[in-house]
Homo-oligomer: A and B are copies of this chain.
Amino acid sequence: MSSNGRPGREPGAHATIEDVARLAGVSRATASRVANNSPKVSPEARAAVTAAVAKLGYVPNRAARSLMTRRSDSIGVVIVEPAGSLFADPFFGRLLVGISEALAARDIQLVLLMAQTAREEERVERYLEAGHVDGAILVGPHGNDPLPGRLERSGVPIVLSGRQLGDGTVSHVDSDNRGGARMAVEHLVRRGRRSIATIHGMLDMSSGIDRRQGYRDALHEAGMTQDPGLEAAGNYHPVTAADALRELLERRPRIDAVFAASDSMAAAAIRVLQESGRRVPEDVAVVGFDDSPVALTTRPELSTVRQPIEVMGREMARLLLHRIEHPGEAPSQVVFATDLVVRESSGGA
């Protein structure tokens, strides 16, 4: 019966649109129109095709479709992480959850691409430029990373997590790091703290820069003098944060508050403070950033700044899909507000 002369179809093989068309008594074109929700199909034809699809368990072959449409219906999520420790923080996982939710609703696949070295980053770049995905979300690139600019130039639609440093306008989604940090420090000021230190994050990433700037904003606004001796350099890693804070305590033993640019650094800070004989929050109040799970594991529990990570992931996906469908439009940036979560480490609500 079948046009190729084979009497039957081997088990495990999938029905093609040809099979559907034949069973429904229509042409391949009509079957295809139904599969793609084209409006120009008669109700009868549509019903017949729908029934045939159900009967045969037909699922379109993505490869064949891609070949025609020149779209892969998949996007890349690139995790750029020189240190390899990215997943120690639940941030990326939660972002993936958000992205994946938004994509599932549109039946787009998420291709995960990890680049831990410059060499791998090149591999990823080649992959993206080859057009194997319709666009990409870049997570974690540092300020000096050339990848975003190069992809943008080669016409690969991209969306960044976090504001891009330097020139170039690429779409991005960010949280209001500066405003959040400022809220945190204002809260400490309101609590009567007068010697507020900070352990900042990496300064080649917008989050690091912005959170430190928010700290400075709040001090400035409160009319407190900017003392560089109150700023310690961390890199989001608890060990470096502990060292940085110990040095800071030698320089400025009388501090009465610490704002850390991440919860894991804040947790380390609490331990260092306690080991130095200081009580938290009585002697020194502490506020972190992220509202990660560790915030609930410190004693006292950690006050922190929360960002809507899953929502940000969804928005990144939405922005990218929009960009893919409207290549002409200018890139857009979305910034989400942050919330202060007050717990015991800063004296409680």
Contact = CB atoms under 8 A, between A and B. Distances in A.
Interface of A: 12, 14, 59, 61-64, 66-67, 72, 74, 77, 84, 86-88, 90, 92-94, 96-97, 100-101, 104, 109-114, 116, 120, 123, 126, 130-132, 155, 238-239, 264, 267-268, 271, 275, 293-294, 296-297, 299
In this complex, the member of A67, A87, A296 whose beta carbon has the largest number of chain B beta carbons within 10 angstroms is A87
Contacts of A126: 59
B271 A238 contact: no
Interface of A is mostly: helix
A14 B130 contact: yes
Contacts of A104: 114, 120, 123
Contacts of A84: 97
This chain: copies in complex = 2
A34 to B, nearest CB: 18
A96 B59 CA distance: 28
Given A59-B126, A66-B63, A297-B294, A97 B87 contact: yes
Nearest to A93: B87
7 contacts: A63-B64, A84-B97, A86-B93, A88-B293, A100-B112, A268-B297, A275-B299
Nearest to A67: B63
Contact of A92 (B14, B67, B87): B87
Nearest to A74: B111
Contact of A112 (B66, B110, B130): B110
A246 B238 CA distance: 29
A264 B292 CA distance: 13
A110 B79 CA distance: 13
